[in-house]
Structure 1
Amino acid sequence: MLKLIKITAISNQLTKMKIKITSNNGETFSAYLKAPTSRPAPGLIIIQEIFGVNEVMRNIADKYAQAGYVAIVPDLFWRQEANIELTDRSESDWQKAFELYQNFDENKGVDDLISTMKTLKELPECTGKIGSIGFCLGGKLAYLMATRSQAECNVSYYGVGIEKNLDEATNIQNPLMLHLAEKDEYVSPEIQSQLKIELSNYPLVTIHSYPNVNHGFARIEGKDYNLEATNLAQNRTMEFFQKYLD
């Protein structure tokens, strides 16, 4: 069940809109959606970092729409503060982002992502095939989508806290790709080693490591952005989506 709020044509090639999604308890939350004109197309859920649905997340959705996917970015902080947009460029934004992160309920977040997936499947623009891609907090949630949802495939960029839910890996039924930043200050080398060892038992899981880069290496214009690692990860991700969604 969804409500369209605004629809805008973009260069006669893409359509963007803000929609309302009904949660499993009947409340609604917003999402940014961008769709290509070549439809129907596979759906892709872009899962936010701790900074909310900001320009970075919308730009990622725009790029995947240009690549031929119906891309949607749900606002997962709506229970705390709806429509918040933060950056990694100020101390006050970092403090606010960590406050939101620390009070975030991951289980409800996954429920909201599953509600988003159901909504996306209902859209005539979508083929019904759905994948997810998440960054930071969203990287953890992309892993949980692999363990708790029927999404066709999922991609995690520098997900934080995956080790706390490794017991759920037995539930993975569809392909999952993890991108790890070897200098990630939030995911220690010991934890990265643990992930590689324990998830190596699951043939549906692929893990790529990127040396000499920090958490957030794919955040364009972010303080830790690394072009080379971003391009390599992006190429691997696109091949992955083309294989399992197209």
Structure 2
Amino acid sequence: MGEKTTIPEFHGEGEIPVYVARPEGQSEAAIIVVPEIFGVNEGIRQKCENWAKKGYVALAPDIFWRFAPGVELSPDVPEQMQEAFGYFQQYDADDGVKDIEAAIRWLRHEQAVDKVGLVGFCLGGRLAYMAAARTDIDASVGYYGVMIDQMLGEAHAIANPLLLHIPTADHFVGPEAQKAIHDGLDAHPKVTLHDYEGLDHGFAAELGNRRDEAGAQLADSRTEAFLAAHLR
């Protein structure tokens, strides 16, 4: 089982709550699991545990810690979905990148890992793209990342491998946005894109009504192989 702890904010201005799951033996690689807009809930903790079983140190940061620390929400409860949208409106993704940098530093120095990867979902998928462009993360994976089509001007800065999972029926990332992502990234030597025909946003959630079992297993198998290739 993992544990809740804190790590120093990048500039030392506070402590970031995190959930950390560790493998049984020493690991040379770690994975930052960046949540959706629902906080470090049971599903995200389960993803951390799954990575630990595969031999990685896994860390999930509380992305809303500055204004809603410790929040855990369910996308299957309408009131909680609306609450999550409110937090999304307050959230500053630039702060999120700084928190990822803090996690990278903590993992490399305090957990003595050689390489750090990232897997993010929804808002976390956007942060996976931003981390690939703005940090020295060794490899990043984004599931149904939002607003990436608005940040394609940063693509030239992606220096390490990035994998993006794109469900074609995503009701938050429409066809025009998907086309822009493909047009902007298909030719990028460091970027791999996978489409999932007919699947919607959230299809790879561990728990709840949104999960598509076949799609989730396919995407997760691709993620596992991708990170093993670049972190091992």
Q: TM-score range by the shorter chain?
A: over 0.9
Which residue number corresponds to residue 223 of structure 2? 237
For structure 1, list consecutive stretches of 5 or more residues without a partner in the other structure. 1-9, 11-15
Picking from 65, 68, 84, the partner of 1:78 is 65
Residue matched to 1:3: none
Deviation of 1:123 after TM superposition, in Å, equals 2.5
Return the offset for 1:200.
1.6
Quick one: which amino acid aligns to residue 68 of structure 2?
E
Residue of structure 1 equivalent to 2:144: 158
The aligned counterpart of 2:85 is 98
Deviation string, structure 1 residues 162-206 (Cα, Å, up to 9, x no partner) = 011110000000000000011000000111111111102311100
Aligned residues: 231
| TM-score, with structure 1 as normaliser | 0.91
Worse overlay, 95-104 or 195-204: 195-204
- CA displacement, residues 119-143 of structure 1 (integer Å, 9 cap, x when unaligned): 111124x422000000000000000
Pairwise CA distance, 1:80: 1.1
Find out whether 1:49 has 2:36 as its counterpart.
Answer: yes
Paired letter, 2:17: S
Contact 1:154 1:175 in 2 (8 A): yes
User: Where do 1:45-194 residues align within 5 Å?
Assistant: 45-124=32-111, 126-194=112-180
**Given the two structures, how large is their TM-score scaled by the length of structure 2?**
0.97
Q: Hey, what does 2:22 align to over in structure 1?
A: 35
Following the alignment from structure 1 to structure 2, what is the Cα–Cα distance between the partners of residues 216 and 104? Answer: 20
Q: Are residues 1:228 and 2:194 paired?
A: no
CA contact (8 A) 2:46 2:206 kept: no
Structure 2: which 5+ residue stretches go unaligned?
Answer: none
Question: How many Å separate the matches in 2 of 1:194 and 1:90?
Answer: 32
Deviates more, 1:16-25 or 1:136-145: 16-25
Task: State the SS of the aligned residue for 1:36.
Answer: coil
Equivalence for 2:9: 23
Name the amino acid aligned to 1:129.
K
**Mapped partners of 2:146, 2:99: distance in 1:** 19
Partner SS, residue 169 of structure 2:
coil
Is 2:204 the partner of 1:218? yes
Structure 1 distance, partners of 2:208, 2:172, is 16
Q: Which has the higher strand share?
A: 1
